[in-house]
Amino acid sequence: MALPPPDPQFVLRGTGAAVHTLHFSCAGQEPDVPILFSGSENGFVHVWNLQTHRVDAALDGHGRKSVYCVQTMGGKDRLLSQGRDQRICMWDLAEGRTSVTDSVFTENVGFCRCSLLKVAQGRWLMAMAAKATDEVQVLELPSKTSVCTLKPEVGAKLGMPMCLKLWQLSCGSQPLLLAGYEDGSVVLWNLSTGNALSQLVCHQEPVMSLDFDSEKAKGISGSSEKVLSIWSLNEQQNLQVYKTHKLVNAGISDITIRPDKKILATAGWDHRIRIFGWKKLKPLAVLDYHTATVHCVSFSDHKNPSERLLAAGSKDHRISVWSIYTQT
Amino acid sequence: VCFIPGGLDCSISFVSHVLGKVCVHGRQKEILGVLVPRLMDLTKSDCIWQRICWRLVECVPDRWMEAVVLGFVQRTPGADVLSRLLGNLVVKNKKAQFVVTQKLLLLQYCHTTAVLQNLLGYLALDGLRPSLGSLIQVLQELLETWGSSSAVKHSPPEQQQYISKAILICLSHLKEPEIESCRQELLTSMMEGVKCHLDSSLPQIRRLGMIVAESISSKINTDGPVLKFQYEEDDETRELKSLLVQTPPFCVVPSLPDDDRNEKADAALPLVLESNKKSHTAAPVTPVEESDAELDSDDDLIPYDMSEDKELKTKAPVYIRDCIEVLTGSEDMEKWEATVKALESLVRKNPAATREVSVELAKILLHLEEKTCIEGFVELRQRAQVAVLTTDPIPVAKYLTSQFYSLNYSLRQRMDILDVLVLAARELSYPKSQGKTKHSGAQNPCIQLLPGSDSSKDWRTIVDERIKSKTRRFATGSSQGELTSSPNEFSFVAGHFFFPLIQHFDSSSSVGWCEYQGIYFLYRNSVLQAVTAMGKALLEFVWALRFHTDSYVRQGLLSCISSLLLSVPAQHLLEDMTEELLETQSWLGDVVEKDPDGDCRRLALQNLLLMENLKKKLEPVPS
């Protein structure tokens, strides 16, 4: 007799607007407090203290335009936020400061979340949708120099890039980019040559989100349709469809695989968060708490496995935080 | 009577006295620590000892009863044991009753949850005996205290928590037939109480209120919608909620030293909570056989129950044109239903889109038949129609009024049209505060009996022009730009509502009287802006109908005249409508004398008087 799904461990309220993006920063040592960053449609990035469940700071750096991506750059003191004001801002949050140290003007009016990858100490690669509709540009941070611009070949008709994931097999190896496009394809790009290594049509509708497990060379993508697509990368760097999984309701906004690669979570347009086992995509739980589309899901980076959390941000202005499958 | 081998009966009361005195002096722990376990052992199976025990406690003098009873309640590990030891004490001894049902619950709040469990469990079991249904009474009293606003404001949070716990435990003990009998009182008390709690400025109190209300609601509405609040879950709320579920009585090992006994009673409850919590936060780590041959780490992850995960219900379309599609063509009944329900608000939210398709929508709505059994279908349709009409009055009114007199419409449909026109007229007469762009400054709802100075003139000129043109067809749109600030939206469009109806009025048709009724109401609303052209038209109309056979019609006509006389300024009446007025006056005179219907005569008389008054008003005041 299966147990009923758990309730959220707690719910964060107070953003006052739809929550589009979440990012945890809980790997710090005492006396560092575990933090959750959230970006909302009203242009604020809220810094949530996970002990008090209250907002420690609200960062206003995007002119009240929706913030749709937040990520940390090596710790909670350096934050990167991306907003619909066509800017990517880098923040210095150390010692209580809340200032924008630098920004990149992307000239892109889309919704594609940028992707960060640390390649060396103090050096990052950032992939973002560029000014031209179907191009992806990769910059090196903090120098903001362009590493390459990835243009699909003429006639490819991929449409806008919808989601990006930079990865490398191990530290020091060649960084690669996986990009999901408007036409439903996922393309693997080589950054040094600027060429596409492989392209796979995974969906009939735009790819809304994807995540990739570099150890198993397996990735998963979700779309506005009812199907999750799992694909793998073989030794020749070719993408192949591994399997598909049919969902009960259409529409996935976000997918994320937990850092320990055991489970993954999807954020659904049907207001539900679904948990699957990553190994065989076994459905594990359906968390039904939100009353509107869930826009984003994120796993925490707690060092202690039993403290790990899952957070989901929704259009209903709430962030639900769950403690699920922490024993494994 | 109790007989014991050895003839110990008289010494029982002595023992009671000793017991009482010792307890009162604060030595409860020591003496009861020894006594209670012994008694528990002895009374387990031996009825005689049970009776001795009961007698023992009963004989304790009143002034020491509280100490003894309290001691017992605290020391015993479970309600059933308490019941065994105390027996019918509560029934037989007034003081004990007071202590148990009033003092311990309402006047003190220092006791642990375990004590509450014991106490209330005892009272619940007590209900098995033929007694006063004391648990229900206790619950009602608890609820009274819980729900009293002064208690919520002035008593400390700990006491409120204590009472809340007591209420929850009582609820957990109540059985279905008992709840049935007092459902209404529970509901009333809960509603009052929850209000006081939610008004409080302390979040803890609010939360307590919410939890208790939720629990009560879930108990009394086992199959209906249940009250559900939103609040943060934490240890306290989980503990409170766990009280709603009764755990089976703990089995006690008699040989345990009594100190441990107390702790165990207290500790048992947190243990129950622990296991509740644990089951919430993690999946058990028991290995499960998979049907697959290979064992891999996925097997450690036990899925949760996902039976609730169903397809979402179809939503209503978000765009007006989609609605039209669904309403005209769709076979999907769910979608159709959802559309009908959502249509009114969609129309109101998207005025621009509605205006593009207003006449089409009006047509569809007029012919809309009930396909599935929706509650309030007629009202929904009417509201949607009114919404369409108020959003785009002129063309839709034109359409509706033209349809009104055409063939092939049932009475119901004509009545619908009238109703819709009237409702829309009313709505337009009271402009909403979100002013439309055309009417800047049109903020005040106005039931003006005197016209705004320029607006009515504008209106008059336009209407006069129209009348002069004698076509009585009103071009859409051209008038709207010219009319600037008018306090009453309806004045623009009143003509479109009103004149077509009058023009085509057919008094011989069977729907005559209801048609005129609609006209009457329209007029009532529109007269607020003292549109004289309408006044004239109305008088003509009245004139045409004055010999109608139905007295109700005549009465209505007379009332029309009164409203006309009352609202149109006298100058306009006498300047513009002199002829009609004179004719009307003579008719009124006739009515007063000759009309068979008493009400008609009375109304006619009133009108005549009104006319006289008006004339007098305008006569120059003698200086």
Tokens 């995540």 belong to which residue? A211
Residue of B nearest to A4 (CA): B305
Render the burial of A195-229: b for 16+ CB within 10 Å, e for the rest.
Answer: ebbbbbebbeebbbbbbbbbeeebbbbbbbbbbbb
Confidence band (pLDDT; 50, 70, 90) for B516? low
Q: Where is mean pLDDT largest: A176-190, B74-88, B256-270, B280-294? A: A176-190
Q: Supply the pLDDT for residue B466.
A: 37
pLDDT higher than 80, residue B463: no
CB contact under 8 A, B281 and A9: yes
Q: Supply the pLDDT for residue B411.
A: 67
A–B CB contacts, 8 A cutoff, strictly below: 83
- H helices of B76-156, where? 79-86, 89-92, 94-97, 113-126, 134-147, 149-154
Confidence band (pLDDT; 50, 70, 90) for A90? very high
The CA distance from A207 to A205, in Å, is 6
Q: Supply the pLDDT for residue A145.
A: 92
Q: Supply the pLDDT for residue A208.
A: 95
Confidence band (pLDDT; 50, 70, 90) for B148? confident
Between A125 and B139, the higher pLDDT residue: A125
Q: Supply the pLDDT for residue B282.
A: 37
Name chain A contacts of B300, Cβ cutoff 8 Å. Answer: 328
CB contact under 8 A, B296 and A4: no
Q: Distances from the Cα of A250 to the Cαs of A24, A113, A145, A222, A282, in angstroms? A: 27, 21, 40, 10, 18
Q: Supply the pLDDT for residue A39.
A: 95
C-alpha distance from B301 to closest chain A C-alpha (Å): 7
Q: Supply the pLDDT for residue B247.
A: 55
Residue of B nearest to A320 (CA): B232
Degrees (nearest 5) of the Cα angle A314, A316, A317?
Answer: 80
List the domain boundaries for chain B. 1-128, 134-247, 528-622
Q: Which residues pair with A265 in a beta bridge?
A: A256, A275
Q: Supply the pLDDT for residue A38.
A: 95
pLDDT higher than 70, residue A318: yes
**Which pLDDT tens digit goes with each residue over A110-163?**
899 999 999 888 899 999 999 888 899 999 988 999 999 999 988 888 899 999
Residues 229-268 of B with CB under 8 A from A: 232-234
Residues of A with CB under 8 A from a CB of B: 1-11, 53, 248-249, 262-263, 270-272, 277-280, 282-286, 288, 323-328
Cis peptide before A8 (omega within 30 of 0): no
CB contact under 8 A, A3 and B283: yes
**Which pLDDT tens digit goes with each residue over B285-296?**
333 333 333 344
Q: Look at B156-170, B392-406, B428-442, B519-533 and tell me which has the smallest mean pLDDT.
A: B428-442
Q: Supply the pLDDT for residue B329.
A: 76
Tokens 């049109």 belong to which residue? B442
Over range A187-199, report the average pLDDT: 91
Confidence band (pLDDT; 50, 70, 90) for A19? very high
**Which pLDDT tens digit goes with each residue over A275-310?**
999 998 999 999 999 988 999 999 999 988 889 999
CB contact under 8 A, B301 and A53: no
Among the partner-chain residues A5, A9, A280, the one whose CB lies closest to the CB of B305 is A5
Confidence band (pLDDT; 50, 70, 90) for B443? very low
Degrees (nearest 5) of the Cα angle B361, B365, B367?
Answer: 120
**Which pLDDT tens digit goes with each residue over A6-15?**
899 999 998 8
Degrees (nearest 5) of the Cα angle A157, A159, A160?
Answer: 155
Cis peptide before A152 (omega within 30 of 0): no
Between A25 and B578, the higher pLDDT residue: A25
pLDDT higher than 90, residue B351: no
Confidence band (pLDDT; 50, 70, 90) for B271? very low
Q: Supply the pLDDT for residue B549.
A: 63
What is the CA A130 to chain-centroid distance, rounded?
A: 18
Q: Supply the pLDDT for residue B473.
A: 29
The CA distance from A179 to A169, in Å, is 17
The CA distance from B535 to B561, in Å, is 9
Between A291 and B462, the higher pLDDT residue: A291
Over range B254-260, report the average pLDDT: 38
